[in-house]
Amino acid sequence: MDPSTGQVTCKMPPKTVLDLLQNPTPENAKKYLEWNQKKIEQIVKAQQVVEQVTGDSKQEQISIKDIKEVDFYFSTTCPHCQKQAQVIKKIAKLIPNKVVGYIVNGDAVSLAKFLQITGLKIPVYHFSSAPYKDITAVPLTIIVLKDGKQKEFLGFTENFGIAEINQIRQ
């Protein structure tokens, strides 16, 4: 109900969503996943614009010595996750044995291919064993600091505000 007019409106899910729900075929699932990925990209772009306008993109610097662990949530079919894996590789070089991956979507074959393409060499576990379960999109990187605070980064992020990351070459 619209509080200003008192009108009741009913909104239907987009056609792509309805098609998948009413006829769950591989073709409809693929169309849904493509539609969903585009929506995620739009949200990430909108978030970046808001950060530019509000000045929130000026994140405080994190020192590598203050990091307890880094959790990288990804999908093997996500091109943004492949790009993010390159940054995660740099962090893993700075703090070996403190970076862990969690595969949100994909199987053993696609994981092997993802690791081969990206050159990422970190322990990877299935999402069901992850400490953080509220995943709405990938890539998601969570940096857990030694003081117990954590910083979450959704979408591709260049350096997470880690000062030492720019010193590492691939």
Range of the domain at 14: 1-58
Per-residue pLDDT of the chain (170 residues; tens, 9 = 90+): 677 777 787 778 889 988 998 999 999 999 988 888 888 888 877 877 776 666 554 457 888 899 999 999 999 999 999 999 999 999 999 998 999 999 998 889 999 999 999 999 999 998 877 777 778 789 999 999 999 999 989 889 887 888 777 665 54
Q: Are residues 154 and 84 in the same domain?
A: yes
- pTM of the complete model: 0.65
Q: What is the DSSP track for 75-138?
A: ETT-HHHHHHHHHHHHHHHHSTTSEEEEEEE--HHHHHHHHHHH---S-EEEGGG-S-----SS
Domain count, the chain: 2
Q: Are residues 41 and 71 in the same domain?
A: no
Q: Is 137:59 a contact under the CB 8 Å cutoff? A: no
What is each CA distance from 63 to 95, 149, 151, 159, in whole angstroms?
A: 11, 13, 13, 12
Q: Is 131:71 a contact under the CB 8 Å cutoff? A: yes
